[in-house]
Structures are given as C-alpha cells and as structure tokens.
A and B are shown apart, each in its own frame.
Chain A
Amino acid sequence: MKKITIPIGPQHPALKEPISLRITIEGEVVKHADVRLGYNHRGIEKLAESRTYIQNIYLVERICGICSHSHTTCYVQGVEKLCGLEVPKRGLYIRMLVCELERIHSHLLWLGVAAHEAGFDSLFMYTWRDREVVMDLLEIISGNRVHYAINTIGGVRRNLNEIQKEKILEGIKFLKKRTEYYTNLGTTEPTFVARIAGVGILPKEKAIALCAVGPTLRASGVSSDIRKDDPYAAYDEIPFDLCTADTCDVLGRVVVRVKELIESYKIVEYIIKNLPQGEIKVKAPRKIQPAEVVSRYEAPRGENIHYIKSNGTDKPERLKVRAPTLANYPATIEMLKNCFVADIPLIFAAIDPCICCAERFVELIDAKKGNSTVLSMAEIRKKYYSTETKRNVVWPL
C-alpha cells in the first residue's frame, strides 16, 4: 500500500480555528501525524511588554474567547503576588464563581463539539441550547457573555447581589438535571459510544512523559489538578473531588468532563451559600518592584501557566503564557497514530483544542514585503500535488 499525505487544516470543517495537521494515511488508517502552528499568531507576548499591567489584563483576556477568565485570573494572581496584595475573601470567591461557571460553559461547549464531530448533531444542538443558561448567568454577573472582564488587580470589579445569587442557583439546578440526562444518553446511545470508546488511546506513561495536561491527562488515570495540587484563590477551602478515568480513550475524556461538570455545580452552590461578606477589591499600585513569579491555574482544558517578570516600571519585563492546548499537542500526535481517518476530528477535538490560545507569539505581517504573489489554482496544484500521487488511494478493506 502506498502512503499519501492529506492536509487537515488550516481550513477544514472539523477545525474551528486554523491549524495544520499533516496526516499520512494508508487506506483509511493514519500512519503518521504532524502539526504545524503559526496560522493565528497575534504577538501578545511581545505586545504585553509595551503595555501597563492594567491594560494587560484585557490583552491576556483576549488570548482566548472560551477560557478568557482563566488567562486573566492566572495573570492577575501573578501580578498580585508580585506586589504582595492580599485580595479580600469575597473577591476571591466571586473570582472562583466565575471560574467554575466558565468551566461549566466550556465543558458543555466541548460536549456539543465532540457530538458534532461524531456527527451527532441533535446532542450538539441540545447541549448548546442548555449552555445558553450558563452564558446568561455569566452575562448577568459580569455584563458580557464572552469577555467577562471581571478581574482586576487586587480583586474583582463587580459585586454579587441577592437576585443574581438566586438566579445562579436556579440555573445550576436546571443544568444539573440536564447534565445527568446527557450522561445517561452519551453512555447508552450505541452509535455514539461506538464512535468514542477505544478511540485515541493515550497510555498513562505516555501521558506523563509527553506532559499532557487537564482532562486529557486525567482521563489517562493520572490524578493531577492544579486546584488540588497548587490551590490558588481559595480552592483549599472548598470541598470537591478530583475526577479521573482510566480508560485512556475519548470516552474517558467525555466521562472526566461530565464528572467535572457535576463537581463544578457543587462548587458553585457551595460558593453561593458560603459567600463571605466584605470588600471585593483592594487598591493596586501602578509600579511594581523587580521580581518574578510563576502563576498556575486550572483552566477548563488543563494547566495554564503564566510567568511574569517585573522591572520596577508599570510595564512587565516579560510575560510568558503557556495555554493548555499547546501542552497537549505532543500527546495528540501520539493518539492520532494508527487511528482511522474518521477518528481524526474526534481525537483532535478530545483535547478541546483552542488554537488561538496556544498561538499568541508573533505578528506575521512583514512590513517590507508588500506585494503578495497570486498563484492560479493550476499552479498551486502543480506545486503541491505531484502527478504521481494523483490517483493512488488504496482500497480500505
């Protein structure tokens, strides 16, 4: 059998964002996978060096649209540590509340995307409809659906009132019921289970060696969660369980995420019931003495780490961001080997890829080179499709 290489991306219906996976297949079986980044670079790390600490909150928020709160919290925590601020309890609790609501929305979104990649559009529609509930809650709390902008250095920007609390509890009650229904459905519908069980195997040792993070790692049976390992905010005061699965496949990742959803509902309820009174923020200085800090955060997709170095001015010397998706790419390549072509979107979606999260380094516009070359379709074909690989697809059975 002859091998051919097919491009999945940078534009492909399975990918919601641009990334290029070069897949070498033999018949319907994937033999090798390679990943090429760089389609979505915005130069955020470079840009952060020329902006003040306050402006950078909103800059890091725009690293990702789905886990926007995770980046700001990670950044803000780091800056607070740099200038030694003690954030009031109420502020921390509201911050955690948004964290968990964001986790709920991200996991529901992911469940829908996974269903869509498996061709299960009804489940996709239903989960996304129910996700609107948590989106509305976030809008009520923060004033916007995607970029909540609730964090500021030294606390949070908005307080919570009784009506909002009630609405949150109501929404969580509804979502709890729905999530239980989806768990039942997702694990009993034969066509869906057939697609996700035993697909994308990542053994425990491989997961550890390749530095996988988040649900991908936990689905391989490793109990690692920054909220437990390295409690930030006030997570050490909140009772919750760490969710793992040992099937090491896509089904395991679904199970981990659904379990985490249920844990998140519990955390939200706990936070609302035990919300401390008091201030929500303290005043922050504009300039920060030279120091360095490593801030870690458990985003819905896994460990998010920011390294911040200050130099005495009101701008950081260096801000390094590592989003969870980048850490999961080596593991994904491992998972893609020897799977079917049909499983590629599912396996890739199972790490919950956020490509714009993972790519934030460099602006790509070359100022000197103004003229772009226009290639005709024929030239592109000649360039990229050599004639000998034209019709050599092999019979799959």
Chain B
Amino acid sequence: MNQQELVEKIKLELGGKIIEINAPAERRIFLTVAAENLVDTMKILRDLFGFYHLSTISGVDTLSSFEILYHLANNVSCLTVKVSINRQNPEIPTICDVIPGAILYEREIQDLLGIVVKNIPDPRVLVLPDDWVKGNYPLRKDWNYQAPEEKIPGEKK
C-alpha cells in the first residue's frame, strides 16, 4: 500500500468525519477531524490501517483555538490527526481506551496547555511541581515568563 492508496482508503473509510486531509510530503499525512469524532477515528485508524503507534500528542495554541495533533505511525506513513478545539472551553476525549500508551502525553498537554481530557484514567499532575499555581499553563501563548535578571556574584554595577 503506498501513500496515495492509503489516503484514498482513509477517505473512503472515514467518509464524513474528515474535515480536511492532505499529504504534503512523502510518508506524511495530515488529517483534520472534529473533537467528537476523535475516538472513533482513532479506532478505525488503529483497526483498519494498523496505526498502533502513537508517537506523541502536540498542542499548539493559535490564540483563536487550540490545535491538538496526534502523531500516529505505521510502517507506511506517519499520520497526524488534527483536532481543533475551542479556546474558552478546551475539552477533548481521552484516547487511552484505544491506545493505552497515550496516557503520559495526555497528562502532559493537560498540565502544560490546560486542556481538559475527559475520562482520563489518571488525571494527576505529571510534569508541573506540586505547588504550581493553578491556572498557569506555560505553553499557552498568552503565558509569558520573565526570566529574573541575571546577577553575577561579586559584580559591581
């Protein structure tokens, strides 16, 4: 199965769920779906196309919405499932039932982008410290960190 056939087959199987699909480069497919179709899409991609391996989940803050990208891979292609969600009420369903290895990445975007992953099996904080002030999501574009001024010991100013 080559890339073009794969794209055609995905179009056929997923049908109306696809918002956009394109293959900009060799072995790279980008697929956009709606958040409510995410779990179904993942299930179909895993069972019919062998996308067992979730490389990672990236989150991008575009200031108008959050883009969540699921980077899946099989031996033919690397497929990125893109989900765009509302910035005011960021919620996505968990895909841990489909791909159990997604748990750490979901916890990571939960911590860093403040996205609520619904029904996540383990909602604890993963990377932020225990005393982190709630509501600070470092990877959001409107979260800015001002590094403290550098002080060199013994420097005369």
Contact = CB atoms under 8 A, between A and B. Distances in A.
A contacts B: CB pair < 8 Å = yes
Contacts of B146: 367
Interface string A15-29: 000000000000000
A151 B56 CA distance: 25
A34 B59 CA distance: 25
B101 A38 contact: no
Nearest to B143: A46
Interface stretch (B12-20, B85-93, B125-133): B125-133
A267 interface: no
Contacts of B52: 208-209, 211
A332 B131 CA distance: 27
Given A38-B129, A294-B78, A327 B60 contact: no
Interface residues of A, number: 42
B139 interface: yes
B63 to A, nearest CB: 10
Given A209-B52, A230-B78, A45 B139 contact: yes
B27 A230 contact: yes
A311 to B, nearest CB: 10
Contacts of A361: 108, 111-112, 127, 138-139
B101 A362 contact: no
Nearest to B72: A211
B94 interface: no
Contacts of B55: 211, 296, 303, 305, 322, 327
Interface residues of B, number: 44
Contact of B101 (A212, A230, A317): A212
Interface string A216-258: 0000000010000110000000000000000000000000000
B21 interface: no
A340 B111 CA distance: 33
B21 to A, nearest CB: 14
A307 B138 contact: no
Contacts of B9: none
A37 B101 contact: no
A46 B138 contact: yes
Nearest to A303: B55
Interface in B96-134: 99-105, 108, 111-112, 125-129, 131-133
A200 B101 CA distance: 18
A329 interface: yes
B127 A41 contact: yes
A107 interface: no
Specify which of A211, A292, A327, A329 lies most central, judged by the most chain B CB atoms within 10 Å of its CB.
Answer: A211
Contacts of B56: 305, 307, 320, 322, 326-327
B83 interface: no
Given A38-B128, A318-B60, A307 B71 contact: yes
A305 B57 CA distance: 10
Contacts of A305: 55-56, 71
Nearest to B102: A211
A36 interface: yes
A38 B73 contact: no
Given A36-B126, A230-B78, A317-B60, A296 B112 contact: no
The 8 A-B residue pairs whose C-beta atoms are closest, nearest first, are: A211-B101, A322-B56, A320-B58, A210-B101, A362-B138, A38-B127, A307-B58, A305-B55
Given A229-B75, A294-B80, A318-B61, 17 more contacts: A36-B126, A37-B126, A43-B145, A45-B139, A46-B138, A211-B53, A211-B55, A229-B73, A320-B56, A320-B58, A322-B55, A326-B56, A331-B101, A361-B108, A361-B127, A363-B138, A363-B145
Interface of B: 24-25, 27-28, 30, 52-56, 58-61, 69, 71, 73, 75, 78, 80, 99-105, 108, 111-112, 125-129, 131-133, 138-139, 145-148
12 contacts: A46-B138, A46-B145, A210-B100, A224-B53, A293-B25, A294-B78, A305-B55, A326-B56, A329-B104, A361-B138, A362-B138, A363-B147
